[in-house]
Structure 1
């Protein structure tokens, strides 16, 4: 929304995202190394195994150590890592944009690096508390509140918005096979459904409409061809058809709407601002 309706980020704001990008990169690399160990995958060389330990031991300050950059490149390119992601990606948490940051690491580690808006769109910063944004769409003034969806955050905000006109609820389509960061046994899509159900049927939102963003359609389109949705949602019967799969997910969210609020669904790719703006 900031890029679309507020003329994007200033240079100073982009610089402030640098540490977040680095943190995403390191945490993603450490998640892969931990998963390699958890599921008993051994990297293809002693050098790669040493570099994996280097990644685990690294503590981020404000720069990326060149040795850690080389270690991440080595582990990421190791064929055993590809095998891990092919066979076990549904069993541990790895942010969707991890491959983007791994593939861009040589640019990210430059001394003069300043995040691009694309880097910011791919970065994940945990939302805590309530963040407010105001902007205009034509002659309409929009006052938007961004709240954290994590379990620990929900009780802080759900009672605060009795007078809101609309709720924008974002769901990642690609998370149908993923687990929570907080709870590795809980499916992310099912968790989103639980949260959505608690919101749409809450007494605080009886006169509120819902704008439902089914996001990351680009990742979903590729994933559904390789990872059967039936494995995680046995009542789904549409096979690898992305349209049937998306309609099924929309149906599951619609079924949770016992309060019969008006829902406006949109398929989106948040990293494509023209798609979201439309």
Structure 2
């Protein structure tokens, strides 16, 4: 087997189709095998985020034949200084913008994925309209049809979708989002935070921040404080976090079943109360 035209010296599986590969010439890279559409989407997202004034992402070294090869990121312990720098860098990445809400990265497919779930990236004129039609309602239907979400929770999510124009807060321009910014997709390296595994698209900047908060992030307070200092957030942004967390929670219900249904219901109710 060769990677980048060089023989493989060692391959260490990391799970999810990924492996740390040491090449015969001494380089260490990350190799992910999968469907070509998923490879294209991730490669396009990494290149789009790399072009922004944002956090570092691994360089794409090869993308084709069902294989994505990127730089390998060495691990280090996070600290508050690195977390604050991540907050400032996220503000820069978001400010790089996108053509529209829902827009895919250049060269990225309309039919992309978030984790193991399908995710449609198609431009829409406004965030509330797009978030309801292409984020909340498709996953609500999937979760309900699979039995992961009961009728009471489904009604609450539908109420959020119906009231989105009133719940969304002040209008903002489309931001350049990582799109799947949970803490596992933030690698802490000796040089600071590096973002991996994007589901990149044009969206609302509060979504990335809410995703960071959903499953915990080291030194989150430092990240958010530095972000808000660099690019002040609209009043009420903390109260809107459950609204932005509802989408990834519905994705988790679709992928992993009803164990996340209670969290999704709680987020829907919190979003409605905040509005």
Both proteins in one fold, TM over 0.5: no
Could you state the TM-score of these two structures normalised by the residue count of structure 1?
0.31
Could you state the TM-score of these two structures normalised by the residue count of structure 2?
0.32
Q: Which has the higher strand share?
A: 2
Higher relative contact order, chain-length normalized (CA < 8 Å, sep 6+)? 2
Q: Which has the higher helix share?
A: 1
Higher radius of gyration, 1 or 2: 1
